[in-house]
Chains A and B, each alone.
Chain A
Amino acid sequence: MSKKTMTLKLFEKKLQKELKIGEFVLVEVDKALGNDITAPVAINEFEKINNECPVYDPDQIILVPDHFTPNKDIKSAMQVKKVREFAKKYNIKNFFEVGRVGIEHVLLPEQGLVKSWDIVVGADSHTCTYGALGAFSTGVGSTDLAGVFLTGKAWFKIPESLGVRLKGKFNKYVSGKDLILKLIKILGVNGANYKAIEFFGEGVTNISMDSRFTISNMAIEAGGKAGIFPIDHITKEYEKQRGFDVETLEPDEDAPFIKILEIDLSEIKSQVAYPFLPSNCKDIDEAYEDKIKIDQVVIGSCTNGRISDLREAAEIIKGHKVAEHVRCIIFPGTQEIYKQAISEGLIQVFLDAQCAIAPPTCGPCLGGHMGILAEGEKAVSTTNRNFVGRMGHIKSEVYLASPAVAAASAVAGIIAGPENL
């Protein structure tokens, strides 16, 4: 039998037949996701072509208005209204209202709406996050989402895979964010274009579920179609808590990877991605030397808004105050994470340090609302993109980093690591 990548195994299991890399396939997806930016376009397209028929399967569809919510202005309110009314009309029960909504890619795994072995599409580029569960999950456009409304299916070209063999263990204050930034630096922002990135090797067992989500989340920043982890005892435990008993998954030895990168987790240092590409990374020691004065720190997002991110930030911020010239805004990823952070005393730590706590929302990550930068301002952010104007003014700058570096920078007032405090 030929050797197989995880990508190929996931598609073969779903379609119950032998497939080849490079083949085009139509797949009935397990779940399809839209948000308040992308779902309205899908709804427009669907309603243009569909004559009042029901959607193919309402339980396949998940609608998460998380980008511009709580509604930032009248236009955004109208967009969410359109999505809400669509959900009601077509009996889509997985529509999440403010108060229940979380950041989509944090919310869906938490709620058990996506799981290992699933094939998922989402009209949001960071849908690749669920690869952490050992699922094939990828970002698509609104028309693809409308296609799922109509037929339940999406088209895929089964991608080639790029392997990343991991060994060792992260040092203290180094996490998944640093690994993925380093990998993007190595690959470049289009180094994995059209390809699935597959992680494997003994080092995988030293990476927590939360860090795996962060790593898979940013596969797209190297152009990746997916970022897939094996299903091991850590995944199985996570899924068990959600009521799923899942089979393990790993790539075959000598699977046909187009390239294999070897990374020792213990050699990775905290990374800072300078404007204006996520690949533009420096090690923290070097970045600290630059003494870059910052105006804002954002901790949260689909990349780093999970409980272990908040724990790490709180551990560093505890007993300090945010520097006088800095605004530090914390975005817990979901209501559950918010509650957990309260019960663990993390929110108290942030409030005592004079951070602002926001509701779960994508908010400033894409320059939406709740922390937009003015001309010339600089931010350290745990989000995923630092493109020109991403968080506000076209002459503002975003530096991407881990929650540990973001928290330390908030206290120091310049880009700094926890060791520099």
Chain B
Amino acid sequence: MELKGKVFKFGDNINTDEIIPARYLSTSDPYELAKYCMEDARAGFGQREDIKGSIIVAGENFGCGSSREHAPISIKYAGISCVIAKDFARIFLRNCINIGLPIIEMPDTDEIDEGDELKINFDQGIIMNLTKKKEYKINPYPDFLQNIIKSGGWLNYAKTLLKNKEQE
């Protein structure tokens, strides 16, 4: 899988209250949630036209706070293609893997700026910063998580497990 997009840059400890504030949690409709994606980190972000296909790049501990899956859902349905951060809070990472939102942990996000054009090749494990002409290596996920990702999320994987069990 390869994708290309423009960077929107955020800081450290971006929490789930900033990604999708509780005042918008009275619904589970993903397209409604998408409108308020990153609302309290950058007001109006979810309603911008130019975020489709873009990449969020952030610092440490992205997605800390609540377990609300509404946070990665709002990012995914807003059309953000990938989130890159120095590291992710545990539940947020889990939720992204479970719902199939591509995320990448890499230490050098300080070298990437707002507006940079990135090309990511997941098979080769490479991020290219086309604007700054720099290249970074991505660490692959453990096999267990890759299997979930390949199945298109945890429920599809879990269903396969069930089916295999029935056939045993």
Contact = CB atoms under 8 A, between A and B. Distances in A.
A387 B63 CA distance: 12
Contacts of A368: 22
Interface string B22-66: 110111100000000000100000000000000000001100111
Interface residues of B, number: 43
A155 B67 contact: no
A88 to B, nearest CB: 19
Contacts of B60: 190
A123 interface: yes
B17 interface: yes
A92 to B, nearest CB: 18
A184 to B, nearest CB: 12
A147 B64 contact: no
B81 interface: no
Interface string B124-168: 000000000000000000101100100001111011011000000
Nearest to A146: B155
B69 A143 contact: yes
A49 B156 contact: yes
A127 B87 CA distance: 22
A68 B154 contact: no
Interface string A54-78: 0000000000000110001101100
B61 A189 contact: yes
Contact of A147 (B28, B65, B158): B158
B67 A125 contact: yes
Interface stretch (A134-142, A246-254, A259-267, A310-318): A134-142
B87 to A, nearest CB: 7
B91 interface: yes
A46 B73 CA distance: 16
A47 to B, nearest CB: 11
List of 8 A-B pairs having minimum Cβ-Cβ separation, nearest first: A75-B26, A141-B95, A143-B98, A24-B144, A190-B61, A141-B69, A40-B28, A125-B67
